Amino acid sequence: MPITEFLTRNAKLYGDEKCLTEINLELQDSHNVIWHEYELIENNPAGEYRRDMTWKVFDEKANRFANLLIKRGVKKGDKVAILLMNCLEWLPIYFGILKAGAIAVPLNFRYTAEEIRYCLDLSDSSALIFGPEFIGRLESIYSKIPKIRLLFYAGEGRPPYAENYDRLTANCPSSDPKVEISDEDDAVIYFSSGTTGFPKAILHTHSSLMSACHTEQNHHGQTREDNFLCIPPLYHTGAKMHWFGSLISGSKAVILRGIRPEWILRTVSEEQITIVWLLVPWAQDILDAIESGAVNLEDYDLSRWRLMHIGAQPVPPSLINRWKKYFPHHDYDTNYGLSESIGPGCVHLGIENIHKVGAIGIPGHNWEIKIGDDKGEPVVQGEVGELCIKGPGVMKCYYNDPKATAATLKGGWLYSGDMAKMDEDGFIYLVDRKKDVIITGGENLYPVQIEDFLRTHDSIKDVAVIGLPDDRLGEIAAAIIELKPGHSCTEQGIKEFCMDLPRYKRPRRIIFDKVPRNPTGKIEKPRLREKFGASSLVEQQTTK
């Protein structure tokens, strides 16, 4: 069945119960009011921007948007793009598109105007709903997106070229449009991270979405008593597919707009959050804030927080060891996945396997795994090969890109592009991205291994290791190091620290700089290669 039926069920069973809350601690409303469903409630004691929604209203809003789309000629299989920051409207809009039988096309809110145009064109989107943060970008490409025949605007200050989403949906029926949807119907197009060029369009069916629901709920056991804190961007599969556990269990979730450690801890405390999914940088920031004294854990009630899970990029074991020092009673899980595998869960550590921190885990619920050589044949246990996955959440194809599809989907297996190895207990360890492997003097270097080692240094906040051209060795390893606030270090100090590494693994260049990450936490190594790959490389000996 399509996941829209879970929403319909929740509206019937738990209609008057709160399901979503949006909190923005940066916005202070001068009238000290909050939105509750469709009403303004005066004298909000917290004095902060906060909006709540019940399951009934969630379902009604989704139905209204679905009926609007159908009324305006959107047919089953048409593509409707979403360009919004995280907000209370995001999920009802997404589900409204699905209920109309259309295909939802979430867009990265960091896309440039040209990237927006490219993705709209690649996906054949015929409608777009966007928010106030994107007016300038849309104005610059408005004349270049002829396929877009419907342009809806959600927010204040509507530009003249778009229609008002709130006004139009208010006049549409709140009843289910009753569009027949099958498991094999196309449902969504997500985009790859685009860290190696323009992103690819990843097409998934309703069956994929359902598999994500069941995988998430199986792994983390959400019940009606849980409250999930959603911080990462909803356009990405990660945050949304973890929220699917709340959908299937009929439990609450909070959308927090902001990533400051004190905001996260305050929200966990005041909203009695039970489950938090973090990206590596945010977990690092929380730990740094604790250790620097910027936050005091005794100021917060964290007694209901039962699970912290993390993913979207390799997780340093040193980070989790630090985390368990301050949060010894938390269950912990690592999640691995790709947008091509409908997000996290095709591999996961499992809360019962904390003794295997450092591994990404074992095959997830209903998933199969193999580690293959260049011909796709399984490698010997313990050897490095490409991680290949098979399961109900594998993408249908790269939309409009048969060549890329054929290179990634082979014999029912999804070739991830990640290099991995398996230990004697069947646990999988991520070694690195295939394209990021550094070949120096004939030896293969896997940057993640060097990065994990460097992160154990007391002064290092984040690190990225990349290959730079070298006349003699072909490539050498360069470590771009971001120090913790208030810490200093020298190149020589880092090189001495690296003496515990095998000689061929020691980085030949040390560069002190910021480590850029995209909104899903992945290190943007192409940006670093572009910045430091030229012969004019400037190495800073120290940093403030």
Looking at residue 196, its pLDDT comes to 47
Lowest-pLDDT range of 5-9, 172-176, 278-282, 441-445: 441-445
Q: Are 408 and 415 in contact (CB under 8 A)?
A: yes
Report how far residue 257's alpha carbon sits from residue 274's, in angstroms, rounded to the nearest whole number.
Answer: 18
**Mutual angle of helices 55-71 and 4-14, in 10-degree steps:** 140
Report how far residue 202's alpha carbon sits from residue 397's, in angstroms, rounded to the nearest whole number.
Answer: 6
- 């120290």: which residue's tokens? 542
pLDDT digit string, tens, across residues 418-433? 889 999 999 999 876 6
**Which CATH architecture does the domain made up of 4-230+237-258 adopt?**
3-Layer(aba) Sandwich (3.40)
pLDDT digit string, tens, across residues 383-419? 989 999 999 999 999 999 999 999 999 999 999 988 8
Helix H or strand E encompassing 80: strand 79-83
Report how far residue 130's alpha carbon sits from residue 152's, in angstroms, rounded to the nearest whole number.
Answer: 7
Report how far residue 101's alpha carbon sits from residue 395's, in angstroms, rounded to the nearest whole number.
Answer: 18
- Mean pLDDT, range 520-534, rounded to an integer: 75
Is 269's pLDDT higher than 50? yes
Which residues share a beta bridge with 79?
A: 103, 125
Q: Are 414 and 408 in contact (CB under 8 A)?
A: yes
- 């979403």: which residue's tokens? 82
pLDDT digit string, tens, across residues 61-115? 999 999 999 999 999 999 999 999 999 999 999 999 999 999 999 998 888 898 8
CA distances from 500 to 409, 481, 496 (A): 40, 18, 8
Nearest CA to 436 out of 421, 423, 451 is that of 451
Is 268's pLDDT higher than 80? yes
Compute and round to an integer the Cα radius of gyration of the chain: 24
Q: Are 267 and 23 in contact (CB under 8 A)?
A: yes
279 Rama class: left (phi>0) / alpha (psi -120 to 50) / beta = beta
CA distances from 134 to 140, 212, 228 (A): 10, 30, 28
Nearest CA to 191 out of 536, 520, 521 is that of 520
- Mean pLDDT, range 430-442, rounded to an integer: 71
Looking at residue 445, its pLDDT comes to 78
Residue 520 pLDDT level (bands cut at 50, 70, 90): low
Report how far residue 330's alpha carbon sits from residue 245's, in angstroms, rounded to the nearest whole number.
Answer: 19
Answer CATH for 332-433 from 2.30.38.10, 2.130.10.10, 3.10.180.10, 1.20.120.340: 2.30.38.10
**Which CATH architecture does the domain made up of 437-532 adopt?**
2-Layer Sandwich (3.30)
Q: Where in the chain are the domains?
A: 4-230+237-258, 332-433, 437-532
Report how far residue 304's alpha carbon sits from residue 274's, in angstroms, rounded to the nearest whole number.
Answer: 5
Is 461's pLDDT higher than 70? yes
Residue 128 pLDDT level (bands cut at 50, 70, 90): very high
Q: What is the DSSP letter of 132?
A: G
Is 534's pLDDT higher than 50? no
Nearest CA to 423 out of 384, 372, 389 is that of 384
Q: Is 109 helix (H, G, I), strand (E, B) or coil?
A: coil
Contacts of 436 (CB under 8 A, 6+ apart): 447, 466, 467, 525
Looking at residue 194, its pLDDT comes to 53
Report how far residue 203's alpha carbon sits from residue 238's, in angstroms, rounded to the nearest whole number.
Answer: 16
Q: Tokens for 162, please give them.
A: 């778009």
Cα-based angle 94, 193, 218 (whole degrees, multiple of 5): 60
Report how far residue 439's alpha carbon sits from residue 455's, in angstroms, rounded to the nearest whole number.
Answer: 22
pTM for this prediction: 0.82
φ and ψ at 167, to 5 degrees?
A: -65, -45
Looking at residue 535, its pLDDT comes to 34
Q: What is the mean pLDDT of the chain?
A: 88
Q: SS3 for 348-396, per residue?
A: ECCHHHHHHECECEEECCCCEEEEECCCCCECCCCCCEEEEEECCCCCC
**What percent of the chain shows pLDDT beyond 90?**
64
Q: Do domains 332-433 and 437-532 have the same CATH topology?
A: no
Cα 387 to chain centroid distance, Å, stands at 20
Residue 13 pLDDT level (bands cut at 50, 70, 90): very high
Residue 199 pLDDT level (bands cut at 50, 70, 90): confident
Q: Are 185 and 209 in contact (CB under 8 A)?
A: no
Alpha-helical segments (H) within 204-355? 206-220, 237-249, 261-271, 280-292, 317-326
Q: Which amino acid appears at position 231 of this protein?
A: I
